[in-house]
Structure formats: structure tokens, C-alpha cells
Amino acid sequence: MQIITEPCQMQAIAEKLRLNRQLIGVVMTMGALHEGHLSLVKLARQSAGTVILTIFVNPSQFGLDEDLHQYPRPFEQDVALAKAAEVDYLFAPDAGSIYPENYQTTLECGALGKRLEGERRPGHFNGVATIVTKLFHITKPHRAIFGQKDAQQLAIIRQIVKDLDLDITIVAAPIIREESGLAVSSRNIYLSNQERSAASILYQGICHAEQCIADKKKELPAIAAEIEQMIGSTPGCRSDYVVFVDEERFLPVETVEEGKEYRLLLAAWCGRVRLIDNGKFRA
Ligand code: AMP
């Protein structure tokens, strides 16, 4: 595995790979690699000849009151995990080479980037859109694998690819969970043992929704309210939002229609950690 830190060097390698007709798969992360990230690498490995993993803690997607400076950066451990996962190139630039002095350009998301997570974290998705687009230009992938764990982010990336006519196939990877059901996340290390077991309430909420829909309950806001109640009555947990949305626009849906797909989005605080999760349902 080769470690690359300079955008122009990564670009030159990607260009050469393309000239040699290599299929490039990319996985973009902020590091502190875990089973979720490694499942994405595995999918990339299965469908591409060359796998590029990017690690970059992107300052422009963090709010002023967020954890940019505390975000875990266990680089040596990440290198070992990436090697073991048979990554070909690890692209790990520093902030100065991605946003050099006098950097000025930011991608602006439309309505999809301003709802839900976008409303709670103003500017977050503009930061995500900008870095993902820059990393597309640097790594020149044919395929890019993203986790459904960040469902709204994935929908925004699909929108960028469509709106900007990018010739890249987006692959959506399933959510990897701990045994308790808690979705694996780099931020889970901030949870105390007690908070960690309480945090499985989000997954219990998803299971409750699954049961309600299987039982042909039709009123989605009522199901969401029951889940908010479940979260609110778990010690140390506080619901931020629980909502069913349609798969394309992420607009709230009220009533179930037979044969349609919905996504339940959840955001909650467990102690001082904000967690997001989601589940997909077909009625
Ligand atoms: P992050 O490092 O948190 O920015 O995540 C990088 C990529 O890994 C994104 O595409 C995430 O959706 C994905 N990811 C994070 N956690 C999980 C998980 N538990 N299961 C599947 N994919 C995940």
C-alpha cells in the first residue's frame, strides 16, 4: 500500500491507472477506521481493480461548536487496518494542501442539504459536497462507495453526481452495527459504557417501526412519536428528530402507500454525543 499526501501526486497516479484501464474504486473517510469503513473497502475491493482510501478530517464540514479538534486521529492504527484490508493507495492529505491559502470556492447544496441534518448543522453539507467533489477530481474514481449510515449525505452525493454530470457510479453500503444494534461510528468512543448501552434505543426504534409497518399501521407520524417517546424515556438520551421521509427528496411522509419505500431517520443525544441512524422500509 502506498501512502500519498499530495493532491497532485494522487491525481497523477489516478490518471496513470486510468490510462492502464484500471477500474478505480474510492472510499472516503475521516479516519479512525472501524468495521463500517472496512465493509466499504471490501465492497470496493470486490468491484474495482484498484482501491483508493481517503482519510481527511474535513474542517469545512464541522460547525464552530463541533468536535473538529477532538476528532480521533489514530493514523498508525488506520494505516495498519488499511493495509490489512488490501487498500492500494491511502490518500491522507493535510488541511493546507486541500484548502491552501486564498482558497475560495464552495459547493452550495440545494433544498436537500438544508433540511434535517442540514438545518441542525448549517453549512455542514456544503462542506461535505465540496470535499467529496474535490476528492472525486483528485482520485478520479469509476466507483465510489458510501455508507447508508449517513443516508442524507448519500442522497446529496447522488444529487451532486446527477446535477454535475459526474461519470461515477455511487454504491450504497449497508449499515454495520454492534451486537446491541448500535450503528458503528468513530464518535462511539465518546460514549461511556452506560451511554453506549442506552444508545441501542435508536436501533430498537428502527425495529419498532419495522414491526408497526409489518402490522400495517398507516400513520407514520404516530409511529415516529412512539419512537421519540422510547428515546426520551431512556436515561441519558434525548431525541432530536425522528421522521419518515421519501427516498428521493427526503421530505416527510405522513401515510403509508403499499409498495413504496420509506426511510426512517433518527437523531438523538446520548449524554453529550449526537448520534444518527436510519432504516429503510418497503410497505
Ligand atoms: P466517516 O469517516 O464517518 O465520514 O464515514 C466515512 C464513510 O463510512 C461514509 O460513507 C459513512 O457513511 C460510512 N460509514 C460510517 N459508519 C458506517 C457504518 N456503521 N456502516 C456502514 N458505513 C458506515
Helix/strand/coil for 53: strand
* pLDDT for the residue 208: 98
CATH code for 2-173? 3.40.50.620
pLDDT, tens only, 32-51: 999 999 999 999 999 999 99
Reported CATH class of domain 186-278: alpha beta
Domain range annotation of the chain: 2-173, 186-278
* Residues with catalytic function: 37
Provide the pLDDT for residue 258: 83
Query: pTM for the whole thing?
Result: 0.97
Q: Which residues of the chain have a pLDDT value below 50?
A: none
Instruction: Give pLDDT, residue 125.
Output: 98
For ligand 1, the distance from its centroid to the CA atom of residue 146, given in whole angstroms, is: 7
- What pLDDT is recorded for position 189? 95
Atom of ligand 1 nearest to the CA of 186: 3
Rounded to the nearest angstrom, the distance between the alpha carbon of 278 and the centre of ligand 1 is: 13
Q: What is the pLDDT of residue 44?
A: 98
Provide the residue type at 105 as one letter: T
Count of CB atoms within 10 A of residue 28's CB? 24
Q: Which residues line ligand 1 (CB under 6 A)?
A: 29-30, 36-37, 39-40, 146-147, 149-150, 173, 175-176, 183-186
Q: What confidence score (pLDDT) does residue 256 get? A: 84
**Are 99 and 60 a contacting pair, CB within 8 Å?**
yes
208-223, pLDDT tens digit by residue?
999 999 999 989 999 9
Span from the CA of 200 to the centroid of ligand 1 (angstroms): 18
Q: Please provide the DSSP assignment of 130-174 as one string.
A: HHHHHHHHHH--SEEEEEGGGHHHHHHHHHHHHHTT---EEEEEP
CA distances from 157 to 21, 24, 106 (A): 25, 18, 15
